[in-house]
Amino acid sequence: MAAGHSTTSYLSSVSPPESQSETFLQVVRQMKRTQMIITFSKSVDSVVKIAEIGMCTMISGTPGAGKSQLCMQLAVNALIPLADGGVGGSTLYISTEGTPDTNRISSMLQKLQNHVNRVRTEKNKSKDLWDDPNLLNKLGIATPLDIPSLMECLNSLPKLVADHGYKLIILDSIAAPIRCLEDNNERMRATLEITSLLSKLASKMNVAVVCTNHLTTPFHMTTPFNSDDQELIPALGLNISSQFDVHVDIEKGQNLGEVFMKVLKGGKVAGATAMFRIGEDGIRDVRRRPTAQSSSSS
């Protein structure tokens, strides 16, 4: 994005500044009531609370669908101050597949600050901008790459949450270290232990927990590997969904950057769907061009 271009946001579809402010205030007031960390896609937030305080969520999807991008957006949105309707917390991003894209996270954070300050300015609060030079320090990153280091990290979470005020714990992904275990029983035990720890942490420490999980193709003796009819299921088995309060599945949309999401568990409406896009500014709603019919009738 070239310098000087405005950041596309929740408010992009609303023209008058007054309407922009009211739209944003409605969103953050709702977020404050529910202790929900928004995604910045109204399409998503209207059907499911992906990151709700006290709850565990699983985001499943094929590689490249946008799971990590969604997690990074949630990570920075957890920092929105209480005065602006956010949870005013910090985030711990646990990546089991190497260091996440810190440049991308920094960019999303800057876009978020610009967004909040623009709304504050519209409400005549220009003397009280959100300008915290230590904001990046509220985003902790851990990179355990195997089961022993992951368990050590998870067992230290209660103290870390108490010390750093974490409101969001992200595990991206839960499957990567477990799939390295050769024995199926060991995989099952590790999965149950990890999900149990995270569930207890969410409820007892009052934090939101979000995990990503890959989709994989199960092996069937009667189905050829090159068959188009092969189903995709969450890695670690279908039963893993029962360990979470919320389960959403995402996949790439037809257009570049667009993502289709389906709520499989825990949404406001069973089987609800939503669309969002991944752009330079982060997670936002899909911008639809008016059709010829709607243009001619207006």
Whose CA is closest to 92, among 145, 40, 165, 191? 165
Amino acid identity of 265? K
Q: 144-195 pLDDT, tens per residue? A: 999 999 999 999 999 999 999 999 999 999 999 998 888 889 989 999 999 9
Q: How confident is the model at residue 125 (pLDDT cuts 50, 70, 90)?
A: low
Residue closest to 160 by CA, chosen among 178, 140, 174, 143: 140
Q: Give start and end residues of each alpha helix (H) in the chain.
A: 17-34, 42-45, 67-77, 102-122, 147-155, 157-164, 175-178, 184-205, 292-297
Give the pLDDT band of residue 18 (cuts 50, 70, 90): very low
Percent with pLDDT over 70 in the chain: 79
Per-residue DSSP letter, 55: -
Residue 220 has pLDDT above 90, yes or no: no
pTM score of the predicted model: 0.81
Phi-psi region of 295 (alpha: psi -120 to 50; beta: other; left: phi over 0): alpha
DSSP letters of 269-286?
STT-EEEEEEETTEEEPP
38 neighbors 45 (Cβ within 8 angstroms):
yes
pLDDT in tens, 58-107: 999 999 999 999 999 999 999 999 888 889 999 999 999 999 999 999 99
- What integer pLDDT is reported at residue 17 of this predicted model? 36
pLDDT of residue 5: 31
Domains of the chain: 17-297 (3.40.50.300)
Q: Is the pLDDT of residue 16 over 50?
A: no
